[in-house]
Amino acid sequence: MTEFDLEDGPLGSEATGGFSDKYEVKEKLGAGISSVVRKCIHKITGKPYAVKIIDKLSDAGVDIEATTRDEVSILLALQGHENIIGLVDVFESPVFFFLVFELAVKGELFDHLTDQVTLSEKKTRRIMHEVFGAVKFMHDQDIVHRDLKPENILLDEDYRIKISDFGFAVKLKEGEKLRELCGTPGYLSPEALQCSMFGDAPGYSKEVDMWACGVIMYTLLVGCPPFWHRRQVTMLRSIMEGRYHFHSPEWDDISESAKNLISKLLVVHPKGRLTAEQALEHAWFQGAQQAKNDGFSARWKFKGTVIALIAVREFYKFAKNKLQPVTFDTILREPYGVKPLRKMIDGCAFRIYGHWVKRNKDENQNRAALFENKPHKERYNGNGDMPRKISNLDTYNASFRMSSMGLIQYKSVRKLNPSN
C-alpha cells in the first residue's frame, strides 16, 4: 500500500507530479491493496474532492501503470453522465498516480443499505433506474464494468447514485468475448464462472453487468443476496444453476412486478437476459404496479407481530402448564413455548436480522457480514482440479482478478470511500 499518509509531512511538487501545487491533502477516506483515498481541497476554490493515490511500486501482482492508464482512459470516455463518478484531474510522478474525483459525500450504497437493512420499493426503483441508465450509457460505448456491486455505487448529497471503480472495466472490440475471471464472488455471472471451469467456454460480454444488477436489486429490497451460502462451492453452484428464491416473509410485501424484473435479470443464459434498455422499459419503472405497501418492510411487520404476541401473553398472565393441550389460546399466550412456533420465529428473526449478528462480543459491527460467506485465496492449477486454499480473506465481497498463472489477485480489502 502507498506510504503517502502524511506522517512525514507533505510531499513536494516534483514527488506529486504537480498535485500538491493545486490541492491540499486532508484525512484518509479509504484504502486498497495498492492505493489510498484521501479527501483533498482545491487551493483556489476551496472545493472538496477525493484523490485516489496509487503506488506504482506496489507489489500487487498486476501491472499497476497499465491498469491505471486503462482505467483513466475509460473514465474519460464516460465523463458527463450524471450517474458516473466524475474524474476531475490526473497527475503522475515517478512513484505515484493521483486521480482526483468528485466527492460523493454520502459514501457507498453498501453503507447506506447496512444502516437501513432494506430499502422500500420506491427508493429501490429510483436507485435502479439510475443504475440501469448509467449501465446503458456504458454499454452503448461497448464498455463493460465487470464489478458492479453496492460498494462501487456511491451517493451524492442528494442521494443520487454515482457508479465508481472502473479498475476491471474494459472496452470491447466488435464481436469480442472476454474470458478473464474477475469481479466479486457473489456478483459473478454463470458465463463468467464457466470461463474458469471449462477451456471451451464461449466467454462473456456486457450481459455480466445485467446479472450483477439483478443481484443488486434483490439485495436492496430484502437486505440479503440471492445466492448466499456459508460454503462458497455451494454458492457458486447456485449461481451456475440460477437457483434463488423469493422467501416469505421478507418478499411478501414486494410487488410481483419487482420480482418479475429480477427474474428476467437473473437468467442463466446471457442471451435470455434483459439489456439495460429493456430493463428501463419494464413495467416496474412505468408505475404499472406498485408495491402492496411501499414503505413497509418485512422486518417491521415481524417486529409488530412479536410485540403483539408478547402483549397478548402479558394480558392473560396464566401459569404455564407443560401438560396443557396446545389450544389457540395457548398459542396466543405462550407462542415461544410451542416448539414448531419457536423454530418458525427464530427462523424469521435470523433471516431478517442475521447479518447484524456480531461474531465476538468485543468486536465492532462487521459491515461485510451482510454478505456472510467468506472466500479463501485459492490457486487454480490449470488441470481441471479444484482450487486449493492458500489463506483466509476476511470479506465475502472483495474484488479479485485471476492472473494468467491461475493466482487469484485481490484488488481491495477495505473500502471506505467514493473513488477507491
CATH architecture of 13-102: 2-Layer Sandwich (3.30)
Question: Tens digit of pLDDT for each residue in 126-148?
Answer: 999 999 999 999 999 999 999 99
* % of the chain exceeding 70 in pLDDT: 65
Reported confidence tier of residue 63, pLDDT bands at 50, 70, 90: confident
pLDDT averaged over every residue in the chain: 79
Q: How far apart are CA 47 and CA 322, in angstroms?
A: 69
pLDDT of the residue at 117: 83
Q: Which of 163, 179, 180 is nearest to 216 (CA)?
A: 163
- On whether the pTM is more than 0.85, the answer is no
What pLDDT was estimated at residue 240?
Answer: 96
Bridge partners (DSSP) listed for residue 351 = none
Report d(CA 70, CA 78) in Å as an integer: 13
DSSP state of 178: B
Residue 199, pLDDT score: 84
Per residue in 64-88, pLDDT (tens digit) is 899 999 999 999 999 999 999 999 9
Maximum mean pLDDT: which of 15-19, 330-334, 374-378: 15-19
C-alpha cell at 354: 442475521
Task: Measure the CA–CA gap between 241 and 283, rounded to whole angstroms.
Answer: 26
Contact at 8 Å (CB) between 39 and 103?
Answer: yes
| Calpha distance 285→131 (Å, rounded) | 13
Grid coordinates representing 408 are: 487469484
Which residue numbers belong to the known binding site for ATP?
A: 52
343 compared with 369, residue with greater pLDDT: 343
Rounded distance between C-alpha atoms, residue 404 and residue 302, angstroms: 49
CA 223/CA 256 separation, integer angstroms: 18
- pLDDT exceeds cutoff 70 at 409: no
Cα–Cα distance measured from residue 393 to residue 373, given in angstroms and rounded to the nearest whole number:
10
The CA dihedral of 267, 271, 273, 277, to the nearest 10 degrees, is 170
Across 407-412, average pLDDT: 52
Render pLDDT for 87-109 as a digit per residue (tens, 0 to 9). Answer: 999 999 999 999 999 999 999 99
Give the containing element (helix H, strand E) for 100: strand 96-102
Of 99, 148, 100, 98, nearest in space to 127 by CA: 148
Which pLDDT score is estimated for 229? 85
Buried residues in 320-339 as b, exposed as e (16+ CB within 10 A): eeeeeeeeeebeebbbebee
C-alpha closest to that of 281 among 129, 82, 81 = 129
pLDDT at 115: 87
In this prediction, residues 283-310 reach a mean pLDDT of: 59
High-pLDDT (> 90) share of the chain, %: 54
Short-list 167, 252, 226, 165, CA closest to 371: 226
Three-point CA angle 33, 37, 39, nearest 5°: 170
In terms of CATH architecture, what is 107-285? Orthogonal Bundle (1.10)
Give the catalytic positions in this structure.
Answer: 147
Binding residue numbers: 52
What is d(CA 16, CA 397) in angstroms, rounded to the nearest whole number? Answer: 32
Long-range Cβ contacts of 281-284 (<8 Å, 24+ apart): 282/257, 283/257, 284/125, 284/255, 284/257, 284/258, 284/260
**How far, in Å, CA of 304 to CA of 300, rounded?**
6
> How confident is the model over 223-250, as pLDDT tens digits?
999 998 888 889 999 999 999 999 989 9
Q: Is the pLDDT at 411 greater than 90, yes or no? A: no
Whole-number CA gyration radius for the chain = 24
Please tell me whether the peptide bond between 375 and the residue prior to it is cis, using omega within 30 degrees of 0.
Answer: no
pLDDT digits (tens, 9 = 90+) for 190-204: 999 999 888 889 999
Model pLDDT, residue 57:
86
pLDDT bracket for residue 318 (50, 70, 90):
very low
Angle at 379 between CA 373 and CA 385, to 5 degrees: 95
Q: Residue 64 corresponds to which cell in the numbers above?
A: 499497476
